[in-house]
Structure 1
């Protein structure tokens, strides 16, 4: 089974890769694809790196991690891309594979707001990882599993905030990713904009 772990990965950090590794090691999935989400043309975020840069950093982060890979599959789908459509397109492209959706507890608690959420629950396994402050107390459908995964307390938002301030993030992101962010001057534009707007 292939676990689909979607996100903007802006930037990818050790929480993302650590969780993906844990899921494979614990046997919840045979492999995990980190599905980098494309930019939404209807939504602007001034700290969002271009999708190809985010995907390239994700590939760097997983270069030595067995059974975990970065995927740009959604880049080639109509936009905006919804999870249901992505899962359907994956099934069509890889008819012999079984896919499971990996989401955080925060997303599960608002899952009824997702497009075609009932169809996702009916047709796919869902693996939920815990998020601090988001407790799931209600019963779960048979094909939905709350994993007893470790909590990774930092986020991409926190990594970006530190990068923009010029603070150390070496314990939060992969060494090669960190080197690339510095050498390619990524997020510096946002640091200058933030300084200008103060």
Structure 2
């Protein structure tokens, strides 16, 4: 099975993430997209992260009725911080029957040379890149790329967290079940 891996903190998961994942399944040969919830991103401070199991649960709530999408806690079991190459190596060993590709925005793709063992990533895996305004895809690395013009929303998890702290509504920014869970447990206040 062809699987697109969408790595992120998903802090919290929002409509923009879901639109991209759905677009990847609809417009590439990927049969599933797995949301790989990162317990700790080596490029971001962990102090603003909601507990990883709560974030994973919010992802499950967001995608529960869409069989094309799956939540993965694979990085919870791996050494921290999580590095994409280590996660992919583990997944390839555990699921040799699957063909994995990495989904990322064109902004993240520009940072790829700063990633651990990025040469191995490029050699062994294909990338599905969704365009982000202001970040043109340049590929001096000769990676295997599929470039998508996925519908983009100017949404960020940071802004959603700020909206919650300000006591404003996040309705329509996240799926209703995610919003209800965040409100019920007072996440991000």
- TM-score category (smaller protein): over 0.9
Range moving further from structure 2, 147-156 or 38-47: 38-47
* Shift in Å, 1:143: 1.2
Q: Distance in 1 between matches of 2:43 and 2:135?
A: 28
Per the normalisation by structure 1, the TM-score is 0.89
**Cα distance per residue 1:44-84 (max 9 Å; x no partner):** 54331011100011110011123101110110111122100
SS at match of 2:47: coil
**Matching residue of 1:196:** none
**Mapped partners of 1:27, 1:135: distance in 2:** 20
Structure 1 residues 6 and 142: alpha-carbon distance in aligned structure 2, compared to 1, 3 A threshold: closer
Matched, 1:73 2:50: no
SS in 2 for 1:145: strand
Instruction: Report the alpha carbon displacement of residue 93 of structure 1 after superposing the two structures with TM.
Output: 0.6
Shift of 1:176: 0.5
**1:27 aligned residue:** 28
Please report the RMSD computed on the Cα atoms of aligned residues, expressed in angstroms. 1.9
User: What per-residue deviation string (whole Å, max 9, x for no partner) do you get for residues 118-144 of structure 1?
Assistant: 110110011111112212245672511
| Structure 2 counterpart of 1:125 | 126
Q: Relative to structure 1, is the Cα distance of residues 28 and 151 closer, same or farther in structure 2, using a 3 angstrom cutoff?
A: farther
Q: Residues 92-127 of structure 1: CA distance to partner in whole angstroms, max 9, x if unpaired?
A: 010111100011111111111111111101100111
The 10-residue stretch of structure 1 (7-16 or 25-34) with the greater mean CA deviation from structure 2: 25-34
- Matched length: 188
For structure 1, the 5+ residue unaligned runs are 189-198
Q: Which moved more, 1:104-113 or 1:146-155?
A: 146-155
What is the CA deviation profile of residues 4-57 of structure 1, one whole-angstrom value per residue up to 9, with x for unaligned ones? 000000000011111101111113411000000013699754331011100011
Farther-moved stretch of structure 1 (140-149 vs 27-36): 140-149
- Unpaired runs of at least 5, structure 2: none
Go from structure 1 to structure 2 and tell me whether the alpha carbon gap of 1:48 and 1:142 turns closer, same or farther (over 3 Å shift).
Answer: closer
**Residue in 2 that maps onto 1:90:** 91
Aligned partners of 2:166 and 2:119: how far apart in 1?
A: 42
Aligned residue number for residue 158 of structure 1: 159
